[in-house]
Amino acid sequence: MRRKYFGTDGVRGKVGASPITPDLIMRLGYSAGVVLTRHNTHLHPGDHPSVIIGKDTRISGYMLESALQAGLSAAGVDVLLLGPAPTPAVAYLTRALRAQAGIVISASHNPFDDNGIKFFSHLGSKLPDEVEQEIEAMMDLPMHTQTSHQLGRARRINDADGRYIEFCKSTFPNELDLRGLKIVVDCAHGATYHIAPHVFHELGAEITAIGVSPDGFNINDGYGSTHPKNLQDAVTQQGADLGFSFDGDGDRLCMVDHEGRIFDGDRLLYILAKDRLQQDLLQGGIAGTLMTNLGFEHALKRLGIPFDRAQVGDRYVIELLKKNNWLLGGETSGHIICLDKHTTGDGIIAALQVLSALIRHDKPASLFTEELELYPQTLINITLNHNKDLTQHPLVMEALDSATTLLNGAGRILLRRSGTEPLIRVMVEGENEPLIHRCAELVAKAVKEAMTALV
């Protein structure tokens, strides 16, 4: 069932267009306050529920924070304001401060003029689909503001940064440190700008920080995990050992080694899986997504590690991990989930786990992953101009059949609508790079023709 407001990671869109408008976000805050309080049974009679709000560095965060605060207060919910904070920090502090829920104002890796709202339960985990649907249903009902003596209050949490920095450091082995390592940290001018450099420095590394001058408009602009060129240049020019970049809200990770080679989520997850296997700490298998490279799956099979795929989105990876009673999973995009360290994907914590593996085995990342052969992938994004389902259109179905025949079992095709942007994504993967590119172009052309036909 296609939902009205929520995508794969909360509510997201262009600022000023529905649903990212002050009136709708106020209604979202009110509805979330009512629903999330209803689902929490830990309140004592007469207590006000509390919700934590953190945000990234977008200029629109001020407006949306105020709108959420108004809606939550109207529902009788107290608000704890963190200011700029990474998404995983909100998840951690929601648990640590025993709040009923956590809310993040962020559009992650998107440009500054997008923004979004995502939620965490009191356990620090993403909300189930059915709870989001309940919030959506309430948004279409009239608001009933509490009486004055029942309205929620708001206050700022002034020590949030220090609390989260110490939490991140606590996930790094006590017997190890980062002394002797020169590391470049790229914070995308986003929510980790005042967090990540301190974590690595306090563990002993020599740090160069880039992407740490947010102005409200430059988040993800040429920096961060989706734009690794500046990180590559900084690492090679300064002779650093490694570089880590995060996205705008700090839950994605990309790594660059001393020669400027990029390590995406699949390669980083392979390092962690291999390290845990050798330490006999790997509980069960590894969870990936439909986008996870087939070469990664084959490499795990050679190691005897079970692998399973979830829908695209870190929330679905976490659901699969919990279903299988596993601990480690992630996405090619750089969401890495270590459920023995945190309840959600965390770029800083994932980087620390990778560093501990490399230090423990005294191996560079290139040697640690030398037997991992990732297959070529072609990804084409097509911007949508309407909400109609194109995946079942006859033109698209015919192109998919033709491309499947061309691949002849030596690859796979994935056609999906993005849950965070107005895009249809065509991904083709296989051993023959020219062939997979041809197949991707074939399907993408059919999608564009179907979209034109349906206008």
The per-residue pLDDT for 45 is: 64
- pTM of the predicted model, to two decimals? 0.91
Q: Choose the catalytic residue: 106, 108, 121, 245.
A: 108
Mapped onto helix, strand or coil, the DSSP state of residue 399 is helix
Gap between the Cα atoms of 362 and 371, Å rounded: 17
Gap between the Cα atoms of 141 and 127, Å rounded: 21
333 included as an active-site residue? no
The per-residue pLDDT for 410 is: 85
Find out whether 389 and 363 touch, Cβ atoms under 8 Å.
Answer: no
Rounded to 10 deg, the angle between the 22-39 and 61-74 helix axes is: 50
CATH homologous superfamily of 6-158 equals Alpha-D-Glucose-1,6-Bisphosphate, subunit A, domain 3 (3.40.120.10)
The per-residue pLDDT for 40 is: 66
Fold identical between 6-158 and 377-454?
A: no
The per-residue pLDDT for 340 is: 96
CATH entry 3.40.120.10 includes domain 163-368: yes
**Where are the domains positioned within the chain?**
6-158, 163-368, 377-454
The per-residue pLDDT for 2 is: 60
Mean pLDDT by 10 residues, the chain (455 residues): 76 95 97 84 73 98 98 96 98 95 95 96 88 92 93 95 98 97 98 98 98 98 95 97 98 97 97 96 95 94 97 92 97 96 97 97 94 93 83 91 92 85 89 93 94 80
**CA proximity to 196, closest of 357, 335, 349, 355:** 349
CATH entry 3.30.310.50 includes domain 377-454: yes
Find out whether 292 and 309 touch, Cβ atoms under 8 Å.
Answer: yes
For residue 424, what are the contacts with CB-CB under 8 A and spacing of at least 6? 381, 382, 384, 390, 391, 415, 416, 417, 418, 447
Find out whether 395 and 401 touch, Cβ atoms under 8 Å.
Answer: no
